[in-house]
Structure 1
């Protein structure tokens, strides 16, 4: 039987029949002039094989934009190609894109999602894909980063969300409900985590074998591209694996709080001084001890040569002072309330005795056997097939399992079939709505449901017309059909986009935020009032001088 979602997609494909899918197509740079016809919009979206929901949302937006009189050329890209494209300045050959920030523990702190994707310095480093630059917004971000007054910080964070809602460099489309599953005949004692489902460190530590099978296999849609932690980060997949191999001073718990990890404890001396006591007895996977010297080296070298995305979380650190073998003093240039959740839980501790002997640029180093001190040590990697980690039994919180493998699947559907067949015991991601319905057939698969604080969004390139015009963006904001996205594409397993701080992150989400409703007539009126017009064929024209 054909369900409502299938009928909707069939109609959508009839309307949007000109898609260019697959690899990256070189776009002709737009030559847009006032009073002229708006040239074809170049719209980058994920492929259907990588993320069918975002792909279908892109088709839905394309249909609405065409109804406004715009011509749209859609290019589908897989995750790595899309990430690399958006990270390649000067970024003047596309108009809009669909992307997302999945839930990660450190992203519970609002600075992570509100800072680097939207502040002016990110325009030059490539992480501010929209090219949005506002002195007022940057001042608000800096203010919330430097106050230790929690009530004042919350008010400032609310103001930053309101500023984004006014300027609309990007618009949240939806926040999903995370539904996943695991094989209950082979493993027990799962630990789901808000926004991360079962692919989180706490679950990999707690999952306990029921039978003689002591390897936990996870299905993953797509592979990582490097295990060199200094390499430019194109996405979170690399980081997910690296955080199993390496330790950090702190880890975010399943309830969202931060606890000392490689740090035995920490103490706030004053607003700009924090003492860290490094856990004693830890060793790297090669047997060498982990000391304060390694921690200092890790922070110093990553501040100097680390991936650009971590720069905002290291910038407030003026100096890391080593007091003795297991004591450090972090001196901050200013108060920084996100130090524990956004910095201590992200910066990986590396062995100084290995990395100080690497010649040349660290980001270009060939890393075949990463050595950390984390709960898992390196096992091996067959690119595009499987990556294996071994439980490090000398760790202070060693896993119950003996090993962990990440098995690569080409599509989410193939991954789900691997879960059903028993080839893997859990997926790395949420299940699709059609898969959730099918899940009920298998009593050996236990369903897990958690709220998600990630965001999936459409971003606009403010560097070039027409998205450099605030009125045009306001009109486009009325083309998002939230009801169809949430209730048809996602079968109700989501909530409408409500800004970049999701409602599930209740401590920091501004509940008073409002966004334009789906209303194409309102969009046309805004364009008309701003001086836009339409030619005899219905194509939208720029305002005349």
Structure 2
């Protein structure tokens, strides 16, 4: 039984199961509920139709959203008004807080409790096609004041499954554990999906024969196959825009953004394996990868390939790359430290990875994330990884850097020593200050393609350019979500999160934000329908099946759990609701309340 259920006494679970689509009752057990002081000091009178005793008035709900990240900020703003309309019918008032990206993230990761809900979205670089990153970020050990859990969500049943999927004895077992973790979280209504992410790219058919879009769409810095399989027709150069962050440093592992590290790892460098445009995993610099029966030894055989200066890519370079990245996981924000026992060079083209425990994300995530580094160049960074910068740039990828102007542009030319990708054109990546400048450059024929444009920009380009522009639309494996900041009231209560997820008009948001493109999301899941690791529908349930929302059902759910409304239709807590936080602000959850954690808040293993 959850902690909040203990706080209030018996909860009628029939309605909970009905609203969540009949997910197994065993999953109702969890260790993430409880309460925080979220009242506004109001009196605790009655006011419901049956004059039941009620608690404090539910305070104004604060929502932070990223206000300074271009198209995504616009999409958030366009949807929040519609969300507000539905939620206020529950007798709740909202305070929408524009917040810069860095501040909001800091508020979440320090458990600052500046808001009850945070509006987030996740890009979908190739590494996130493995489930580990977006599943592991919600584990209980990452919640609290010095964590990295964007919702500060803590549930031991979820956490146990999320850790276990890394050590699964087979891919089948791993998939079942991922399904179990995400099914538990969905029943807990751990996040509230608002609308999908739809990649819309535009290109000039007269300038480029577009290719390599597949299931990933025209989003070249997430899907590098657009660069590999598109061909400029009016020149020898494919011209597009780039995030200025990509050109700030050549020490790309220091970037906080996986969409910045991805082009360096897949264009200028190459990985051992790589997801193609249809999300299929392909060998790249690895000719083969053999895994022992116990999953502890992985033997990588390399293809014949060269770095941009002509040096052969050897097992020594592979060993150096993964030891260097792992040793500097505290400096490189998107790096992890897999449980390597050793990385040994067998011969010039064979390297053996021995693990102290099974680590299933190693191939898709780690091998697929990091391009192989030129050891003789990067060895100068050992002991100084965060400050290192290099020139010339010697990569292992299908493109080599011909010229780079920090913060301005990078010109790439083909590398004929790549074993897989045979490209015959140059690429010019140009940085722009804002989206308006990108669109203007495209309209002026200074760019051949642009990506991540919003519906209004698509309409503008269609109206002004006519047949000289074409578009590629594709739903992404991730979406836009509201993340409850779980330790505090009222969002710590499961039925409150469920009611929020039931109440708003998804169809209206979908039509306004995406003009109907993509699919409406009804389940509490970080993966959308296009993600290869999304659980089956019967493992997730739904907030509602009504695209226009179900305010009546949401109010009924709250009422059945002891909530009510005063004479002014203001929502009030149950009379016996414990509003104390799940853990004190400034601290971390510990084993005292979460048995999967030790006294310091570290994961203590399954129970």
**TM surpasses 0.5:** yes
Equivalent residue number for residue 373 of structure 1: 396
Structure 1 position 61 matched with structure 2 position 87: no
Q: Larger C-alpha radius of gyration, 1 or 2? A: 2
Aligned ranges 1:32-43 → 2 under 5 Å: 32=39, 35-43=55-63
Match of 1:331 in 2: 354
Tell me whether 1:522 sits opposite 2:548 in the alignment.
Answer: no
CA–CA separation in structure 2 for the residues paired with 1:510 and 1:82: 36
Q: Deviations over 1:83-119 (max 9, x none)?
A: 743564233322211112233333333333222x211
1:495 to partner: Cα distance: 0.7
Q: Tell me, yes or no, if structure 1 residue 448 matches structure 2 residue 462.
A: no
From 377, 380, 392, the equivalent of 1:357 is 380
Q: Per the alignment, do residues 134 and 529 of structure 1 end up closer, same or farther by CA in structure 2, a change over 3 Å counting?
A: same
Sort the Cα spacing of 1:214 and 1:420 in 2 relative to 1 into closer, same or farther, 3 A: same
CA contact (8 A) 1:374 1:392 kept: no
Deviations 1:265-299 (A, max 9, x none): 2222332221111233411x455443212211211
Q: SS of the counterpart of 1:419?
A: helix
SS, match of residue 137 in structure 1: helix
> What corresponds to 1:483 in structure 2?
507
**1:167–1:470: 8 Å Cα contact kept in structure 2?**
yes
Q: Who is 2:531 aligned against? A: 505
- Partner secondary structure for residue 453 of structure 1: strand
- TM-score, normalization by structure 1: 0.83
Q: Where in structure 2 are the equivalents of 1:17-416 lying within 5 Å?
A: 32=39, 35-47=55-67, 49-51=70-72, 52-77=74-99, 80-81=101-102, 84-85=105-106, 88-115=109-136, 117-123=137-143, 126-199=147-220, 200-211=223-234, 213-220=235-242, 223-224=245-246, 226-231=249-254, 233-234=256-257, 236-270=259-293, 271-283=295-307, 285-306=308-329, 307-311=332-336, 314-358=337-381, 361-365=384-388, 371-378=394-401, 379-383=403-407, 386-396=408-418, 397-411=421-435, 414-416=437-439
CA contact (8 A) 2:252 2:260 kept: no
Task: Summarize the Cα distance change of 1:137–1:328 in structure 2 as closer, same or farther, 3 Å threshold.
Answer: same
Q: Equivalents in 2 of 1:73, 1:65: separation in Å? A: 12
After superposition, the Cα gap between the structure-2 partners of 1:346 and 1:99, relative to the gap in structure 1 and judged at 3 Å, is same
Query: In 2, distance between residues paired with 1:376 and 1:370?
Result: 11
Matched position secondary structure for 1:310: coil
Structure 1: runs of 5 or more not aligned = 1-28
* Counterpart position of 2:571: 540
**Alignment deviations for residues 128-172 of structure 1 (CA, whole Å, 9 cap, x no partner):** 111112221122223333334444433333222211111122122
Instruction: Pick one of 432, 443, 468 that aligns with 2:455.
Output: 432
RMSD of aligned alpha carbons: 3.1
Structure 2: state its 5+ residue gaps: 1-35, 42-54, 577-607
Question: In structure 2, what is the Cα distance between the partners aligned to 1:326 and 1:59?
Answer: 58
Counterpart-to-counterpart distance in 1, 2:387 and 2:39: 39
- Greater shift, 123-132 or 364-373, is seen at 364-373
* 1:82, distance to aligned residue in structure 2 (A): 5.9
515-524 or 297-306, larger mean C-alpha shift: 515-524
Secondary structure class of the residue paired with 1:282: coil
- Encode CA deviations 1:389-420: one digit per residue, 9 max, x unaligned: 32242441353222321332513x55334333
TM-score, normalization: structure 2? Answer: 0.75
Q: Is the 8 A contact 1:86 1:126 kept in 2?
A: no
Q: Bigger CA drift: 503-512 or 362-371?
A: 362-371
SS at match of 2:537: coil
Check the 8 A contact 2:253/2:333 in 1, yes or no: no
SS of equivalent to 2:98: strand
Any conservation in 1 of the 2:38–2:58 contact (CA below 8 Å)? no
CA-CA distance at 1:493 after TM superposition: 0.3
Are the equivalent residues in 1 in contact too, given 2:411–2:427 (CA < 8 A)?
yes
Shift of 1:308: 4.6
1:182–1:445: 8 Å Cα contact kept in structure 2?
A: yes
